[in-house]
């Protein structure tokens, strides 16, 4: 590539990464500064204004219930992950191995469920959950999150298991293994990358949801973190608490970031695979 | 192997698990919403009255709907265009490794995409605070005081701020997808063409572009759907304001259903939104079905 293009490209690249990283770095930095020093509008106000208090206050303050929110978010996200993963693996296995009539139709059905407008789905879903008394409950929220996580999960497992040679499990079956043994002993071990992506995606979707949580789990006992922080930010005392708000934001960003860093290669491959093949 | 009759029955039974779940939380609500859109349903109504197309009549005559539709289309178009071109440039830069540091920075490329959209809005909300927000501090120290103020509450800055957050979150995804498909182009194509005297632009248009066109199309369609569907970005930053300047279909429907509790009318709006998305959705399904064979 010519020198001109390299230079311009490098400059745009550098600018882009600064743009991407600034909010993280700034929020992380501010989460360790006192609210008093933040309100001064200065980039640096001395070492004496650095503190861990913001994180302590997120967990101890009686003015908010962010600790409950964090626990609720974890419970919901882990449950959604386990359920979606289990169901997606079964769906992937059945749709790629049991040569059923209409398999392709089911796949298209699951695929199209990815693009239902969620604000529309929420209305009847709310009615449904309230008739079975699951409004303001974590199980209700978990059910709702499954509609966001599962279609993509199924789509991924189907795509992945299609690439595992069918001869492998056919050979195992000739040796007397049943379908369940095949799934557990042959398909699962080979599907670990897909499992990682489905699990990560499900966790991410549930952990990050604001729309459903803002209607289905408004009550304090069942609130999740995004809703909790939004309420915290709009409360009248929020101007005095920017330090704690920043700490809460960092806590809301941390779990998916850490899990992603561990599973990075698989997740990126899985997420981009649908678009890259072709 | 698994095509004996007994196995087939087992297969269908197993399929009931995913079908049942998606059916209950996805398909049933969607069908029910279609039904509600022809009724006068509210949060409180115990019995529904059939209204025919009244809700649809009402929405096509409503300036709120036209306003929200306009903003949805504008937001989607501008975000996706900027994201695509920026993502393409970043992918090319990463592919050609113009600087060593990019190898390291690529580790952090996906961070904006994997964190909650709500957290993104909270971070930017913090940075656009008047007086002590990061952007305001930077522009003030540069003497650009006409760029300071609370962007989410400013008629001229609200929509650009929302687009900026979309670009921040989604561009990395485009970059990674295009980056991955650039890797798949055989180097010999470039070598052969440069022997034939092709310049860098000719190589781009005749070799690079045709090879990334498929992944570009998929990633664009995916994000058109995503942006059109997205609620959190607009609701949490501006709430559709100031004076409806950033109101999109998702926030309008949310307001109609959860502030005015008019489920019937909100459902009609949602059905229109779904119909628009379906056009792009069909493209997406066709592109993906090819993969399944």
Say how far apart CA B160 and CA A116 lie, in whole Å. 27
Q: Which CATH code fits B54-118+151-292?
A: 1.10.3720.10
Out of A24-38, A60-74, B236-250, which region has the weakest mean confidence (pLDDT)? A60-74
Contact by Cβ (8 Å): A232, A248:
yes
State the best of B23, B41, B118 to mutate against chain A, taking most chain A CBs within 10 Å. B118
Ordered by start, the domain boundaries in chain B are 54-118+151-292
Residue-averaged pLDDT of chain B: 91
Go through the domains of chain A in sequence order and give each one's CATH number. Answer: 63-276 (1.10.3720.10)
The answer to whether residue A209 scores a pLDDT higher than 90 is yes
Q: How distant, in Å, are the alpha carbons of A111, B55, B60, B265 from that of B65?
A: 28, 12, 7, 11
Closest CA to A117 of B116, B17, B280, B220: B280
Across residues A201-220, what is the average pLDDT?
A: 94
Q: Is A133 in contact with A205 (CB distance < 8 Å)?
A: no
Greatest pairwise CA separation for chain B in angstroms? 77
Taking residues A36-65, report their average pLDDT. 84
Query: Which pLDDT score is estimated for A236?
Result: 65
Average pLDDT, integer, range B264-293: 85
Window B:204-263, CB contacts with A under 8 Å: 214-215, 218-219, 222, 225, 229, 231-232, 235-236, 249-250, 253-254, 257-258, 263
Q: Say what the pLDDT of residue A276 is.
A: 67
User: Looking at beta carbons, which residues of chain B come within 8 Å of A95?
Assistant: 15
pLDDT of residue B119: 97
State the pLDDT at residue B209. 92
Residue from the list A119, A207, A275 with its beta carbon closest to the beta carbon of B254: A119
What is the SS3 assignment for A259?
A: helix
The CA-based angle B213-B215-B216, given to 5 degrees, is: 60
The model's pLDDT over A25-39, given as tens digits with 9 standing for 90+, comes to: 999 999 999 888 888
- Quick one: CA torsion of A245, A248, A253, A259, rounded to 10 degrees? 170
Task: Inform me whether the pLDDT recorded for B291 exceeds 60.
Answer: no
pLDDT tens-digit profile of B49-78? 898 899 999 999 999 999 999 999 999 999
CA distance A278 to B217: 11
Q: How confident is the model at residue A228 (pLDDT cuts 50, 70, 90)?
A: very high
Closest by Cβ to A107, choosing from B184, B215, B292:
B292
The pLDDT assigned to B234 comes to: 96
Instruction: Confirm or reject contact between B24 and chain A (CB < 8 A).
Output: yes
Reply yes or no on whether the pLDDT at B261 is more than 70.
yes
Residues of chain A positioned with their CB less than 8 A from the CB of B281: 112, 115
Taking CA–CA distances from A6, the nearest residue in chain B reads B98
* Alpha-carbon gap, residue B28 to B41, rounded angstroms: 17
pLDDT of residue B2: 60
């Amino acid at each position: 590539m010519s020198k001109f293009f390299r230079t311009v490209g490098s400059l745009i690249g550098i600018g882009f990464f600064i743009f991407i990283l600034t909010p993280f770095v700034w929020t992380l930095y501010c989460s360790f500064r006192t609210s008093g020093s933040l309100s001064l509008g200065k980039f640096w106000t001395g070492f004496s204004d650095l503190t861990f208090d913001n994180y302590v206050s997120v967990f101890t303050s009686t003015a908010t219930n962010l600790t409950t929110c964090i626990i609720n978010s974890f419970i919901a996200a882990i449950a959604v992950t386990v359920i979606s993963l289990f169901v997606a693996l079964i769906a992937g296995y059945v749709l790629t191995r049991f040569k059923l009539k209409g398999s392709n139709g089911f796949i298209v059905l699951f695929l199209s469920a990815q693009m239902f407008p969620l604000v529309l789905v929420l209305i009847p879903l709310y009615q449904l959950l309230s008739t079975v008394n699951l409004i303001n409950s974590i199980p209700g929220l978990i059910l709702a999150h499954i509609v966001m996580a599962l279609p993509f999960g199924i789509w991924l497992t189907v795509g992945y298991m299609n690439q595992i040679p069918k001869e492998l499990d056919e050979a195992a079956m000739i040796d007397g293994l049943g379908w369940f043994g095949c799934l557990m002993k042959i398909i699962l071990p080979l599907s670990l990358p897909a499992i990682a992506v489905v699990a990560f995606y499900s966790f991410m979707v549930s952990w990050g949801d604001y729309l459903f949580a803002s209607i289905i789990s408004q009550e304090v006992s069942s609130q999740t973190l995004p809703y909790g922080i939004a309420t915290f930010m709009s409360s009248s005392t929020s101007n005095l608490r920017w330090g704690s708000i920043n700490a809460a934001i960092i806590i809301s960003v941390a779990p998916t970031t850490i899990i992603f860093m561990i599973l990075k290669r698989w997740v990126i491959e899985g997420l981009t695979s649908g678009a890259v093949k072709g | 192997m698994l095509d004996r009759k007994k196995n087939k029955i087992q297969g269908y039974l197993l399929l009931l698990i995913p079908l049942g779940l998606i059916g209950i939380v996805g398909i049933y609500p969607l069908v029910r919403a279609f039904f509600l859109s022809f009724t006068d349903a509210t949060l409180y109504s115990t019995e529904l009255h059939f209204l025919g197309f009244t809700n649809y009549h009402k929405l096509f005559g409503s300036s709120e709907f036209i306003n929200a539709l306009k903003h949805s289309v504008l937001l989607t178009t501008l975000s996706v265009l900027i994201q695509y071109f920026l993502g393409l440039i970043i992918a090319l830069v990463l592919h050609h490794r113009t600087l060593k540091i990019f190898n390291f920075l690529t580790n952090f490329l996906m961070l904006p995409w994997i964190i909650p959209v709500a957290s993104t809005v909270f971070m930017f909300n913090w940075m656009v605070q008047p007086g002590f927000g990061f952007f305001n501090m930077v522009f003030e120290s540069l003497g650009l005081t006409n760029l300071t103020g609370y962007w989410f509450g400013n008629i001229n800055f609200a929509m650009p701020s929302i687009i900026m957050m979309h670009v921040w979150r989604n561009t990395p995804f485009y970059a990674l997808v295009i980056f991955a498909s650039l890797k798949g182009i055989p180097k010999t194509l470039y070598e052969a063409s440069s022997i034939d005297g092709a310049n860098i632009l000719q190589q781009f248009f005749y070799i690079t572009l045709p090879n990334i066109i498929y992944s570009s199309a998929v990633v664009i369609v995916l994000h058109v759907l995503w942006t059109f569907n997205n609620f959190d970005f607009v609701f949490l930053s501006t709430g559709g304001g100031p004076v409806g300047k950033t109101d999109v279909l998702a926030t309008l429907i949310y307001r109609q259903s959860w502030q005015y509790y008019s489920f019937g009318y909100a459902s009609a709006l949602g059905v229109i939104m779904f119909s628009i998305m379906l056009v792009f959705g069909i493209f997406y399904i066709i592109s993906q079905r090819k993969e399944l064979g």
